[in-house]
Amino acid sequence: MRQTVYQTTKDDRAQMLLATGVVLLLSLLSMAVFSVKVAGLTSAHEANSDSVIETTKEVMNELPSLAENRTELWINGGLDRLEAADIAMESIHDDLLHHGEIRGVEVKILNITTSVVNASSISISLELGVTDDSSTLETDFTFVIAA
C-alpha cells in the first residue's frame, strides 16, 4: 500500500486574489452609488416641470409681508425708513438666491426701487427673475408696505 503525504506550503496568492476581488467590488459599488446620486441631481430640472411658475407665485405671495416685517425690524433698530426698506430687500434677495440654489431654480431681484408713499407707507418696485435649466420668467412687481 502506498501512503500519500500532503505537504503544505505557505502560499498567499489565494488571499491576495481574494483581497483584490473585494477591493474591485467595493470600487464598483461606490461608483454605482455616485452615479445614482449624480443622476438624481438633474431631477429638479425636468423640462416639463413648472417649478419656475410655482416659485414665482410663491415669491410674489410672500414678498410683501416678508419685506414689511424685515423693514420694521430695521426701523426698530434705528434706521431711516427708506434705508431700512433697502437693506430688507437686499437681505431678502440674498436669502431667495440661496433658497433657489437648493430648489434647483435661480431667483433674482433686480432694479429695486423704494419710495415714500406717505407717512406710513413705502412703495417697492422690482424686477423678479426666476430661472431653471429650461425656462426663465421675468416679472415686474410693485407692492406697498406699512413702514
DSSP symbols for 107-138: EEEEEEEEEEEETTEEEEEEEEEEE-SS-EEE
pTM above 0.75, yes or no: no
Q: How confident is the model at residue 14 (pLDDT cuts 50, 70, 90)?
A: confident
Angle at 52 between CA 132 and CA 40, to 5 degrees: 50
pLDDT tens digits, 50-71: 788 888 898 899 999 999 999 9
Q: Per-domain residue ranges for the chain?
A: 46-146
46-146 sits in which CATH class?
alpha beta
Residue 132 amino acid letter = D
Q: How confident is the model at residue 90 (pLDDT cuts 50, 70, 90)?
A: very high
